[in-house]
Amino acid sequence: MCVAVYSIDKSTLLGRTLMHSPVGELELSASVDGIVSVLLVKKNKAESELLDVTEDIGTLAQESIRKHLDQAQKELDEYFRGELTHFNVALDLSGTDFQQQVWRALQRIEYGESCSYQDIAEGISRPKAVRAVGAANGANPVAIIVPCHRVIGKNGKLTGYAYGVEMKQYLLDLEQGNGRSGL
């Protein structure tokens, strides 16, 4: 279920909306070029903080931003229902060259699969950069869409996740067909 209210921030040309999901409220942000972030809303963050509408930035920019937000909401809804295994929404990610390399590698991990931080480091030809891969993984601004939850420890155990290991386990279970109704 999506909240059909958008906020457009004229200074950065970002639009935001809230979305209900089985893992909690998600705040989606988009630029005219694509999704910028998918964040789990902290319980103490008031909805009014997110939906502070500013001046009109122009019809074309608004339409583009809303198109990206609508597509992301649709795809995330389908993902949580177990109907979508690959996201197609445009992304507009900012990060270092290394982070971008790691995030592209994350997108190649198949739905329902997992790999280790070491696997990612080796896959980007940086076998000694395991810790840096972990840091880039943790800096991923579009969790779920860029599936950082699919990266686990070399020993097969779940390791840290920005939104908690319980949410990571939920997403992995969902992809394995063992999804629970929510967290």
Residue 68 lies in a domain: yes
> What confidence tens digit (pLDDT) does each residue in 38-92 have?
999 875 454 444 443 334 456 777 788 889 999 999 999 999 999 999 999 999 9
Question: Active site includes 115?
Answer: no
Task: Provide the domain count of the chain.
Answer: 2
> What confidence tens digit (pLDDT) does each residue in 5-52 have?
444 544 456 888 999 999 999 999 999 899 999 999 875 454 444 443
Residue 86 lies in a domain: no
In degrees, rounded to 5, the angle at the alpha carbon of residue 45 between the alpha carbons of residues 50 and 23 is 95
Residue 2 lies in a domain: no
- Catalytic one among 148, 151, 172, 174? 148
Query: Is the Cβ–Cβ distance between 21 and 5 less than 8 Å?
Result: no
Residue 87 lies in a domain: no
Residue 15 lies in a domain: yes
SS3 of 133-158: HHHHHHCCCEECCECHHHEECCCCCC
Domain of residue 19: give its range. 7-80
pTM: 0.83
Strand order in the sheet with 7-9: 7-9, 14-19, 26-30, 35-40
166 and 105 within one domain:
yes
